[in-house]
């Protein structure tokens, strides 16, 4: 019995931490509009959420990301052209809305009210996807003059949500999914379908990743029936 116990103790000492079947923890850089959805799909990775432009810049600078999920294909495609990531895959799409507080103090009923009403508007900066999409929508609607009413330009969509939810602005352009995630504080004013930009999310494996096999498994998991169901529940459209 002593020999058996001694052998077991030796085996425990020599065994790798986490066991032979364990996998490395993947680091996922993702657009802030994915903050609620991705951890529901897979809670195991280490997530870093921010504006897609900021994350793409950090990856260019050698940040230790394994996976990058962007709210605009422009960033993933640019990284791909530079040979920094593997081939991008589309895994979801979204739509833009005008978010207002539940109390709606400015009395907005339509996006066209931005033309006539005196409102405090918050938008994303032109460099971040939601800011670029916002400016496209306003041009298509003939409402570019609404930018004169902007009181703050934010670095990511969650910052816009926070400003509107706290009453620091009367309205802000965000994604449909953001209003759904904060439905106790915000409500959405729809934007006509003909004015909507193509809000497409792409995901890539970073070539410099030291965990590429695990990163590829994470990317593949986004196409599973379970992941697609959770994305739909969050308000995304899946391809």
Q: Is residue 106 located within the same domain as residue 191?
A: yes
Q: Is residue 76 located within the same domain as residue 105?
A: no
117 pLDDT above the threshold of 70: yes
Taking a C-beta distance cutoff of 8 angstroms, is the pair 157, 130 a contact?
Answer: yes
Q: Is residue 100 located within the same domain as residue 155?
A: yes
1 pLDDT above the threshold of 80: no
- Classify burial at 191, counting beta carbons within 10 Å of its beta carbon; exposed 0-12, middle 13-18, buried 19 or more: buried
The mean pLDDT value for 9-26 works out to: 44
- Structure tokens of 97? 């809305």
Q: pLDDT tier at 103 (50, 70, 90 boundaries)?
A: very high
Residue 25 is given by DSSP the state: P
Output the pLDDT for position 24: 78
Predicted structure pTM score: 0.87
Residue 111 in domain: yes
Q: Is residue 120 located within the same domain as residue 158?
A: yes
227 pLDDT above the threshold of 70: yes
Domain that holds residue 224: 26-93+199-233
Residue 6 in domain: no
Q: Is residue 119 located within the same domain as residue 146?
A: yes
Nearest to 74 by CA among 157, 198, 173: 198
Residue 12 in domain: no
Q: What does the pLDDT look like over 138-155, one tens digit per residue?
A: 999 999 999 999 999 999
CATH, residue 115: 3.40.190.10
Q: Is residue 186 located within the same domain as residue 153?
A: yes
Q: Over pLDDT 70: what percentage of the chain?
A: 90
Output the pLDDT for position 23: 58
Tell me how many degrees the CA angle 58-129-103 measures, rounded to the nearest 5.
120
Output the pLDDT for position 22: 43
Residue 73 in domain: yes
16 pLDDT above the threshold of 80: no
The mean pLDDT value for 162-173 works out to: 96
Q: How far apart are CA 138 and CA 90, in angstroms?
A: 25
Q: Is residue 88 located within the same domain as residue 206?
A: yes
Residue 213 in domain: yes
Structural domains of the chain, count: 2
Q: Is residue 126 located within the same domain as residue 186?
A: yes
If one compares 165 and 8, the residue with the highest pLDDT of the two is 165
Helix (H) or strand (E) holding 48: strand 46-50
- Structure tokens of 154? 């934010």
Q: Over pLDDT 90: what percentage of the chain?
A: 89
List, in sequence order, the alpha helices (H) in the chain.
2-14, 37-41, 52-60, 73-81, 129-141, 157-165, 176-181, 212-221, 225-233
């Amino acid at each position: 019995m002593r020999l058996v116990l001694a052998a077991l103790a030796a085996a425990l000492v020599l065994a790798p931490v986490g066991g032979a079947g364990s996998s490395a923890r993947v680091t996922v850089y993702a657009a802030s509009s994915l903050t609620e959805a991705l951890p529901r799909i897979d809670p195991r990775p280490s997530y870093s959420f921010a504006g897609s432009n900021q994350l793409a810049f950090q990856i260019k600078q050698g940040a230790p990301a394994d996976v990058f999920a962007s709210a605009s294909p422009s960033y993933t495609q640019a990284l791909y052209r530079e040979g920094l990531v593997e081939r991008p895959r589309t895994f979801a799409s979204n739509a833009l809305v005008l978010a207002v507080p539940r109390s709606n103090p400015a009395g907005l009923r339509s996006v066209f009210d931005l033309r006539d009403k005196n409102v405090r508007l918050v938008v994303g900066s032109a460099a971040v996807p939601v800011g670029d999409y916002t400016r496209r929508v306003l041009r298509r609607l003939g409402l570019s003059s609404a930018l004169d009413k902007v009181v703050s330009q934010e670095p990511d969509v969650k910052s816009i949500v926070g400003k509107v939810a706290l009453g620091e602005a009367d309205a802000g352009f965000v994604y449909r999914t953001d209003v759904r995630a904060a439905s106790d504080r915000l409500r959405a004013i729809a934007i006509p379908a003909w004015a909507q930009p193509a809000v497409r999310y792409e995901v890539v494996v970073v070539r410099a990743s030291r965990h590429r096999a695990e990163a590829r498994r994470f990317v593949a998991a986004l196409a599973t029936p379970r992941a697609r169901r959770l994305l739909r529940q969050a308000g995304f459209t899946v391809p």
